[in-house]
Amino acid sequence: MDLELVSFKLCPFVQRAVIALKEKQTPYNITYIDLMEPPAWFKEISPLGQVPLLKVGEEVLFESAVISEYIDETSAGSLHPEDALQRAKHRGWIEFASSCLETIYTLNTTDCLTTFDEAVETMKGRLTKIEGILENGPFFNGEAFSLVDAAFAPLFMRLDLLQKLTGVETMEGLPKLNRWSEQLLQRESVQQSVVEEFPMIFQGMLKMKAGIAGSKLKD
């Protein structure tokens, strides 16, 4: 079945699906849209007006976690644990990653200093929680790359860029988390999950939003 992923270049949720596709070596096409001016066909087929969408022939899937599982289940091997209890726990942490992505959106865009400071604290608190449950790695599930890794990698990419571009620090004093992040950011599927000009687009977004994070840009 032909797969077409509908994407927005900055979207971390789409990135999860791209990582899953690359990890599973599943062929796909990608269509980029401008979420500021979404085309009529997109509004027609997207139940929530959100990306990612995965077009599977005539059918349309939405929600990054669902799309990633579909990609996983329809190709050889598995990025989910075999055991149902472990799988359920992984799904919980994938949800947790989504809440972290909402926090980083606030952190990147708010023009209210109080909201910004709260978002930094919320992010640090969530990352500290993850530090507490991480084992020895290199990945969330030990040696095997899983959908939890695909769910967190877009967050780490943004936190790393934010730190480099603005000096905003959220990962200090969390050695396991830093090691995990480094592993993920070096991984080919993760590096290839965004367009080449992603850092520039990300920086442009911070400038355009003109929030507290944007005001901290070094150049």
Ligand X SMILES: N[C@@H](CCC(=O)N[C@@H](CS)C(=O)NCC(=O)O)C(=O)O
* Phi/psi of residue 19, nearest 5 degrees: -60, -45
Q: Minimum Å distance from CB 31 to ligand X?
A: 14
Q: What is the DSSP string of the chain?
A: --EEEEE-TT-HHHHHHHHHHHHTT---EEEE--TTS--HHHHHH-TTS-S-EEEETTEEEESHHHHHHHHHHTSSS-SS-SSHHHHHHHHHHHHHHHHHHHHHHHHHH---HHHHHHHHHHHHHHHHHHHHH--S-SBTBBTB--HHHHHHHHHHHHHHHHHHHH-----TT-HHHHHHHHHHHHSHHHHTTS-TTHHHHHHHHHHHHTSHHHHT---
Which residues lie below 8 Å from residue 60, measured CB to CB, with a gap of 6+? Answer: 45, 46, 53, 54
Given the complex with ligand X, which of 12 and 174 has the nearer CB atom? 12
Closer Cβ to ligand X, 65 or 107, answer by number: 65
The CB-of-2 to ligand X minimum distance in angstroms stands at: 21
Token pair belonging to 134: 């991480």
Give min distance, CB of 179 to ligand X, in A.
26
Closest approach, Cβ 52 to ligand X, in A, equals 6
Q: Which is nearer to ligand X, 16 or 174 (CB)?
A: 16
Q: Whose Cβ is closer to ligand X: residue 51's or residue 119's?
A: 51
Is 122 or 174 the residue whose CB approaches ligand X more closely? 122
Closer CB to ligand X, residue 52 or residue 214?
A: 52
Question: How many other CB atoms are found less than 10 A from the CB of residue 88?
Answer: 10
CB of 35 to ligand X, least distance (A): 5
Residue 65 C-beta: closest distance to ligand X, Å = 6
Interface residues with ligand X (CB under 6 A) are 8, 11, 13, 35, 49-52, 63-65, 98
Strands 59-62 and 29-32: unpaired
The nearest distance, CB 50 to ligand X, in angstroms, is 3
Q: Considering beta carbons, is residue 49 or 142 the nearer one to ligand X?
A: 49
